[in-house]
Structure 1
Amino acid sequence: MSYVLHYAPDNASLIIRLALDTIGVPYSTVLVDRSKQEQRSATYRKLNPNGLIPTLETPNDILFETGAILLWLVDTHGVIGPKPGEVTRADFLKWLFFCANTVHPHMQLLFYPDKLIGNDPGLQRAVTEGAQRALMRDFAILEQAANQAFGDDAPTAIDIYVVCMLRWCAIYGPDNRDWFTLADNPNLFHICKRADAWPATEIAKRAEGLGPAPFTAPQRPKPPEGSAL
């Protein structure tokens, strides 16, 4: 069994790359070149009509939406989360969907306020500040729920999802970085420190140019191919 991951460096496809390498399933990658807006091309939209990244091709299906891909991988392979019927499945599902349906949309508002309200600078600033407040609440909830939401030594899909979103909040979006400090959240910092040492992270660092400590000391990537923005 082999998969094809359509990716761009340091995009949501990073979550799926880390998941695939944690599971240990073989896959190949196809670059979606954001500098050429390939995600909006007719060819790519045949795979993913939303024109968003990532898309995962499997032997039987084409999957998109980050949360859906993660859940499918868990149900197919286990490893990064409990399968149906396991006692921790309910907790896993609620926190996975919290990440996909609450935290991730708030993060997208932080990065792309124009998609909601157009090019008015004042309205964009209001949306950005609202997104920052929402994300602070989201991360505070995850900080308090760490024992229930995250894995132990073995990373789960939720661990992978959260550390990537924390990374992106630190290096993308508005220039003001003072609204959230990872070090003030010891449980989240601990998860990020673990993530820096995952074998899957080493693979992603080489593939996407993520820097030496991509989750505890994130910096803009220098990918060998493609563009993050």
Structure 2
Amino acid sequence: MYKLFWAPGTAAMAPQAVLEEIGVAYEMAKLDIAAKQHEQAEYKKLNPNGRIPTLVDGDFVIFETAAICQYLADRHPEANLVPALGSHARGRHYQWLTYMTNTVQVGFVDWFHPDWTFADAGRQAELKIASEAKLYRGFQVLNDGIGQNRWMTGEQFTICDVYLAMLTRWSRFLDKPMWTWPNIRRVAGAAHVRPAFQRMMQKQGIAWAENWPKD
């Protein structure tokens, strides 16, 4: 059985939603962020960075959200959560998963946690402003890349769409949330209402964005 180390509303959202999409049994191991359980030595034996999430599969341990999602999708090809190997859609899948992780998610880290980079309050404020501008540029790239596709990579629902929905929820505190961009709103909206994503939120005890616009 898989064991997922998680905390509500963190990057553990995506792999847990993927586990729900696959439909396999898994154990949830909640980490208390306020008590800094993720920084304790026992957890760092699994994830040396002390970040969330981490997945344990028997004797195998894997961290980094995108890697966990891809690993699960590869382990369960019957769930059809990644495009076919060698296809153009698979290339787009790699592109968007990498972009969301390496560019957009990094922007969120700087916006939510400028103190991780600077101790000085003034420099933290500067980083927060700069990271918000960077996020908006990233949202535009995602929106343009999605275009009129049904899902991020085309007609097939993939783990990229799960990831997009997670990031969209994170954006609810920004002046311009991700759903300000219409293609993101359409795809993230369709992804977050899927039963698997809804089950993940219920199990984590979290809600969708309260300020999601009413149609």
Q: Note whether the superposition's TM-score is higher than 0.5.
A: yes
Shift of the 170–39 alpha-carbon distance from structure 1 to 2, 3 Å rule, reads same
Aligned length: 208
Distance 1:183 1:52 in 2: 27
Q: TM-score, structure 1 length as denominator?
A: 0.84
Gaps of 5+ in 2: none
Amino acid in the other structure paired with 1:63: I
1:24 maps to: 23
- Please list, as runs of the form range in 1=range in 2, the aligned pairs for 1:111-190 lying within 5 A after superposition: 111-118=112-119, 120-147=120-147, 150-151=152-153, 155-171=157-173, 177-178=174-175, 180-190=176-186
1:196–1:216 contact (8 Å) kept in structure 2:
no
Indicate the larger mover: 18-27 or 34-43. Answer: 18-27
Equivalent position SS for 1:52: coil
RMSD value, Cα = 2.0
1:88 maps to: 89
Equivalent position SS for 2:27: strand
Shift of the 156–34 alpha-carbon distance from structure 1 to 2, 3 Å rule, reads same
- Moved beyond 6 Å, runs of 4+: none
Distance 1:59 1:170 in 2: 36
Q: TM-score, structure 2 length as denominator?
A: 0.89
Shift of the 152–127 alpha-carbon distance from structure 1 to 2, 3 Å rule, reads same
Give the CA deviation at 1:83.
4.7
Amino acid in the other structure paired with 2:145: A
Give the CA deviation at 1:102.
1.0
Amino acid in the other structure paired with 1:101: N
Equivalent position SS for 1:51: coil
1:99 maps to: 100
Shift of the 153–29 alpha-carbon distance from structure 1 to 2, 3 Å rule, reads farther
Distance 1:183 1:82 in 2: 25
Gaps of 5+ in 1: 172-176, 219-229
**1:44-102 CA distances to partner (integer Å, 9 max, x unpaired)?**
00111100000000124100011111221222223221253344211111111111111
